[in-house]
Structure 1
Amino acid sequence: MEGMTRSEVDKAENKDFALGGKPMRPRDAATLILLDRSGSEVKVLIGRRHRSHAFMPGRFVFPGGRTDPHDSRVPTATPLLPEEEMRIVGKGTRASAARARAIALSAIRETYEEAGLLIGRAMAFRTTRPGWQGFVEHGVTPELDRLRFIARAITPPGRVRRYDTRFLAAWRDDVAVELPEGGPTNELEELCWLSIEDAKKAEIPAITRTVLDELKTRLDGDPDLKPGHPVPFYRMLRNRFTRDLV
């Protein structure tokens, strides 16, 4: 998508977003790319969004959603690694460490709610925050040092909803509990583990395909996803969809 004009991006994404609406600032969002390296090739977890949704209806996506700032208050077994935290909030910005923590924890919470996968350490956990009671019930305390920052993308203008999305990754080995019935919400259906190439052939949004390409390149040169790696940042600037490294 790099270098495409706004009209070209609109055409490429016309099935992914409801166009129109008044100008708005994008809201923080978090997405988690779970990676399974148990076989001969790495697989990613994706699920289909319901076709009634205004945002990416019927598309296969990674678990994720809008960031809840209150998630920053949820206790964790380990913090974000400093080199990951710095890039998540944006180097040289006034964004706080609490914002990075909220983004990371929202990705973990959404993965539980949508896929029934609890990432963290098996140990007693207490919080009264909504959305986290499954971690309390199953005795899982979230761990943030497992997460790796993979990409960032801001939804172009002209959509009824806009998000500033951070794509984070974790290994399936980091999942402490897998609920056989899936997550408690109905946000995603048809959950499946696919190789990166097979996932790119699924009915996915254009930006998801772009991030999968970035992920494949990253894994080829950095199979263990070492922390502090520069990541691509996609956004619309001066009528062009640009890619910078942050």
Structure 2
Amino acid sequence: MIDAATAPKEEKEADHHPYFRPKDAATLILIDRSGEKPKVLVGKRHDNVVFMPGKFVFPGGRVDKSDNRVPVAASITKELEANLLKGSPKIAASRARALAVAAIREACEETGLCLGRKVDQKVTLEGAWKPFSDAGLLPDPSSLFLIARAITPPGRVRRFDTRFFTADASAITHRVEGVIHPDAELVELVWVEIGSKPLADLHAMTKNVLNELDRRLATGPLHHDAPVPFFHFYGGKMQKDVLGA
């Protein structure tokens, strides 16, 4: 799990470090729109972990090699692919797919919630993808929307180039039992309204992304081809651009 566009406290003072190329990463923000106000799913980290103990976070992490190879039930939409391909450095379509798939894998690993689709013919998957095949599913990234992209500032020991995705809770098709428990990395899952108290401790960059999500939800249904903000740092200051602009 990562805090998508920042670093631990001890790293924030480490601006003298050599340049580190950001690692591709993905975060998934699940939304429940069944009530009067939309809610997002956050997990509470164990009090004894070194990084962000006791904080509420969204599932996310680095792209894994398996994300490039795992079969999927449906492709990402052409509009989503086009948005993922915008910006620099240039990436291949296969990398765009892997970013979306990584968000699904991380969500399953950290929360036990799987976004997949039933398939007629059983496919055996291994490692982090085994819960999908055990349930007769293949991961389904077609339900994902890209909300933002953010890059950790230069000078940090760990840097991530994170794509923030969102999906509706209705896309959850399977729950892996036993992932959330008192001794796990995440000890609790909570659905909370955007702007509520549990989200007050989120990093400023993550709050920026949530504000963008809130703004888009207020305008109606989400669209795959909506403009995507890109948060990055130049000259020590945060910049907000639009991908492809």
Name the TM-score class by shorter chain.
0.7 to 0.9
Q: Identity of aligned pairs, percent?
A: 42
3-state SS, counterpart of residue 18 of structure 1: helix
- Note the C-alpha offset of 1:204: 1.4
Partners of 2:133 and 2:209 lie apart in 1 by 33
Is 1:135 equivalent to 2:128 in the alignment?
no
Quote the offset at 1:40 in angstroms: 1.1
Question: Are residue 83 (structure 1) and residue 76 (structure 2) matched?
Answer: no
1:191 deviates by 1.4
- Listed as ranges, the matches of 1:103-142 within 5 Å are 103-123=99-119, 124-142=121-139
Q: Which residue matches 1:187? A: 185
CA distance, structure 2, for counterparts of residue 198 and residue 172 of structure 1: 19
Partners of 2:56 and 2:199 within 8 A in 1: no
5+ residue gaps in structure 1?
A: 1-12
Question: Which consecutive unaligned segments of at least 5 residues does structure 2 have?
Answer: 1-5
How far apart are 1:96 and its partner, in Å?
Answer: 0.4
Q: Is the 8 A contact 1:16 1:57 kept in 2?
A: no
SS at match of 1:120: strand
Q: Tell me how many residue pairs correspond in the alignment.
A: 233
- Matched residue, 1:61: 57
Map 1:17-56 → 2, pairs under 5 A: 18-19=11-12, 20=14, 21-50=17-46, 56=52
Q: Within 2, Cα distance between the matches of 1:202 and 1:235? A: 22
Q: Distance in 2 between matches of 1:81 and 1:143?
A: 11
Of 208, 216, 220, which residue of structure 2 is paired with 1:210?
208
TM-score (norm 2): 0.85
TM-score (norm 1): 0.85
- Structure 1 residue 232 corresponds to structure 2 residue 229: yes
Distance 1:14 1:64 in 2: 14
1:130 to partner: Cα distance? 2.0
Quick check: 14-23 or 206-215, which moved more? 14-23
AA of the residue aligned to 1:71: D
CA separation of 1:125 and 1:163: change in aligned 2, threshold 3 A: farther
SS at match of 1:167: strand
Instruction: String of CA shifts for 1:92-125, please: whole Å, max 9, x gaps.
Output: 7531011111111110011001001010112355
| CA distance in 1 between partners of 2:19 and 2:44 (Å) | 28
Q: State whether residues 59 and 205 of structure 1, in contact with CA within 8 Å, keep that contact through their aligned partners in structure 2.
A: no
**Residues 26 and 242 of structure 1: CA distance in aligned 2, closer, same or farther (over 3 Å):** same
Q: Do the aligned partners of 1:61 and 1:205 also contact (CA within 8 Å) in 2?
A: no
What's the offset of the Cα at 1:180?
4.3
Aligned to 2:142: 145
1:192 CA displacement = 0.6
SS at 1:197 equivalent = coil
Q: Displaced runs of 4+ in structure 1, greater than 6 A?
A: none
